[in-house]
Structure 1
Amino acid sequence: MKTGALIIASGDYGERQQDNEGIPVFLPMYPLDGTTVIKGEIAKLRKAKISPILVLTGCHSETLQLHLSHNNVVIIEDEDYQRHSFFDALVLGLRHAKEQMDRVLVLPVEYPAFADKTLEQLLVCEHSAVPVYEEQPGWPRSIVMDADLDEPQNAEDCWIQPNVEHLFTDDPGITYSLLEENGVDHISQYLKDRWNATTLHFRNKLVISREEDFFGPGVYDLLKYIDETGSIQAAAAKMNMSYSKGWKIINRAEKELGFRFLNRCNGGKNGGSSTITPEGRVFMERYHAMVEDMRRMTQNFFDVYFGEFQ
């Protein structure tokens, strides 16, 4: 049975997703798990040897096609995407899929957190199938393209036929959508946790010392949160740290380095506030840059020495 995939990425997803500099990013091209949302999905489908991969575009179609120009996918453009519902997009995609494959895995682009093992389970199902996690259906879903398959009258028609299998799985990622409230943060953390649990990896930490350690990840994170909130108290609370301990570790770092990290403004009608000094910001930026360089260099060495154990 020839199995392909249909990624539905034709919607107008708005511009609620922003990159690290606050610039709006089109959802399929949002950075996620070391790549972009849609490229990550394509990579997982390819790993499962699913081909061809059809991508239904609409909003920002030219930009998305350029983004995928070297990914060997079949682009289907929905020129009427602004009027089309998800069901309309699905029907359009199925018309093209029926000509090229016996079975299609349908994936709305906003569901990127499915596991490799879910694809493997879907591929051994003989009939159309819906993955289910704790009684909640998820994505991707498979449709067997029978010769006598009629066009569905609504989106659920494809998966309520008598021979549709319900594939019960322990993969919660099938239910996570980027369009949910805090969906990007939720999925990013979920993928990170899953990677940590299943992949051999290393940890390194940069600690700066004289006679004693005085600057490391904890101090850096505290200062970063102070920069975000303008408040030592709020930053300490975010790290489950006492207010007094927050002051103590900042004072120690300032004493060792001979300059202030914070401009303090005490009291007043709205309470005190703190901002990062120019010297403090330069030091933080250099610390972060060195941490990233260490991570990249150490990853290269790790791959050389331990790659065969992955």
Structure 2
Amino acid sequence: MRVGAVIAAAGKSGGYKSYDKMKSVDGIQVLRQMILNFKRAGVDEIVLITGYQAEQVEKKLAKLGAVFLRSEDYEKEEMITSAVRGMNYLKPRCEKFFFCPAGVSLFTEDTVRVLMQKAKENENDHEKVYVPVWKERKGHPILMDRSMIDQFASYEGEGGLKGAMDVLNVERIFVPVEDNGVAIYSGQGEPFREIFKEKEKERRIRPRVKLQLEKNENFFGPGIVFLLRQIDTLGSVRDACAKTGMSYSKGWSLIRSAEKELGYTVVERSPGGKHGGVASVSEAGKDILRKYELLEKDVAKYTEKRYKDIFES
């Protein structure tokens, strides 16, 4: 089961702008921690919907492996619109999606794991939304199946995502968690700051390993993996480079290096004018991408275990 996550950080409705009012809370750092919590819990792909201060946000978070989808009309856009856009982007490759507004940022990676495990236990039931609950207070992130996207996309009523679930009679499974971060919003001001401080004190040092494959030289690592995912979605090397914050020439350099070392085509392309033609990831490219992702997850698990054995024993 491949799982994606959509973080709505476009503007006021997503809560991101509210961090400007908190001198002791860095909004960029908050978004960074959200992305890392999803990644550490095993979420495969992450989309960040940007709008307010988009260039600054995208520049500072460019190396974390999240895709940026920019909302040009973020002041007026409803959060449900952001959710649907992000989910549609991930739909070809992910069976389930987390959704979370940037204003509910203090959830833990353990909460993400609990929700994923609950969904896995009911993997064949596609009509449920999993909602974390702390002391009877419902919160975020919520987890849903991709089969529900069209229902949300067609909703034109009020109340956003919650209103859509109410009107559409979506069954919600409330999952108890020991995590007060799921139920606190940045717009609440002082209560949010207090919990933020608590979470910062609890945060521990973590190991982080960058996995690369090499032959005569390093040729396959996080950069090209991220690029290939976007080429597979967008059908364009130029657009994929733009989404990953990479120059067009750098993107082609990574592709050519990988193909040289592997001895086969990774990206199939047809020439075309100023937009660079049509591109797709070859079957052999998809195979090595899948194997790399499996190895990357195993390496991360092993590294975490050995870190605890060595540093925390």
Q: TM-score normalised to the size of structure 2? A: 0.55
Between the aligned partners of 2:194 and 2:78, the Cα distance in structure 1 is: 26
The aligned runs of 1:48-127 (5 Å cut-off) are 48-124=41-117, 125=119, 126=122, 127=128
Between the aligned partners of 1:195 and 1:164, the Cα distance in structure 2 is: 31
CA contact (8 A) 2:88 2:149 kept: no
Count of equivalent residues:
193
Between the aligned partners of 1:191 and 1:149, the Cα distance in structure 2 is: 36
2:312 aligned partner: 309
The aligned runs of 1:199-214 (5 Å cut-off) are none
3-state SS of the aligned residue for 2:65? coil
The aligned runs of 1:1-310 (5 Å cut-off) are 1-12=1-12, 13=17, 15-18=20-23, 28-29=27-28, 36-124=29-117, 125=119, 126=122, 127-146=128-147, 149-152=150-153, 153=155, 154-157=160-163, 159-160=165-166, 161-192=169-200, 194-195=202-203, 307-309=310-312
CA contact (8 A) 1:9 1:28 kept: no
Identical positions, percent: 18
3-state SS of the aligned residue for 2:32? helix
How far 1:86 sits from its partner (Å)?
Answer: 2.2
What letter is aligned with 2:151?
A: D
3-state SS of the aligned residue for 1:70? helix
1:260 aligned partner: none
1:298 aligned partner: none
What letter is aligned with 1:120?
A: R
Between the aligned partners of 2:164 and 2:132, the Cα distance in structure 1 is: 14
CA contact (8 A) 1:113 1:174 kept: yes
CA contact (8 A) 2:131 2:143 kept: yes
Report which stretch shifted further, 168-177 or 69-78.
168-177
CA contact (8 A) 2:51 2:73 kept: yes
Between the aligned partners of 2:170 and 2:193, the Cα distance in structure 1 is: 38
Between the aligned partners of 2:188 and 2:114, the Cα distance in structure 1 is: 26
How far 1:104 sits from its partner (Å)?
Answer: 0.6
How far 1:159 sits from its partner (Å)?
Answer: 4.6
Q: Deviations over 1:199-239 (max 9, x none)?
A: 9xxxxxxxxxxxxxxxxxxxxxxxxxxxxxxxxxxxxxxxx
What letter is aligned with 1:121?
A: V
What letter is aligned with 1:111?
A: V
3-state SS of the aligned residue for 1:131? strand
What letter is aligned with 1:37?
A: V
Say which one has the larger Rg. 1
1:290 aligned partner: none
3-state SS of the aligned residue for 2:174? strand
CA contact (8 A) 1:28 1:110 kept: no
Instruction: Compare the two structures and name the one with the higher helix fraction.
Output: 2
Between the aligned partners of 2:54 and 2:133, the Cα distance in structure 1 is: 31
Between the aligned partners of 1:98 and 1:175, the Cα distance in structure 2 is: 27
Q: Deviations over 1:22-75 (max 9, x none)?
A: xxx8x631xxxxxx1111111111111111110000111111110111111111
How far 1:16 sits from its partner (Å)?
Answer: 1.0
Q: Which has the higher contact order (CA 8 A, sep 6+)?
A: 2
Q: 1:71 to 1:148 in 2, by over 3 A?
A: closer
Between the aligned partners of 1:148 and 1:56, the Cα distance in structure 2 is: 17
Q: 1:135 to 1:17 in 2, by over 3 A?
A: same
Structure 1 vs Structure 2 CA RMSD: 2.9
How far 1:6 sits from its partner (Å)?
Answer: 0.5
What letter is aligned with 1:139?
A: H
Between the aligned partners of 1:78 and 1:148, the Cα distance in structure 2 is: 19
CA contact (8 A) 1:130 1:159 kept: no
What letter is aligned with 2:199?
A: L
CA contact (8 A) 2:87 2:149 kept: no
3-state SS of the aligned residue for 1:128? strand
Between the aligned partners of 1:192 and 1:118, the Cα distance in structure 2 is: 17
Q: Unaligned 5+ residue runs, structure 1?
A: 20-24, 30-35, 200-303
Between the aligned partners of 2:85 and 2:30, the Cα distance in structure 1 is: 22
Q: 1:60 to 1:100 in 2, by over 3 A?
A: farther
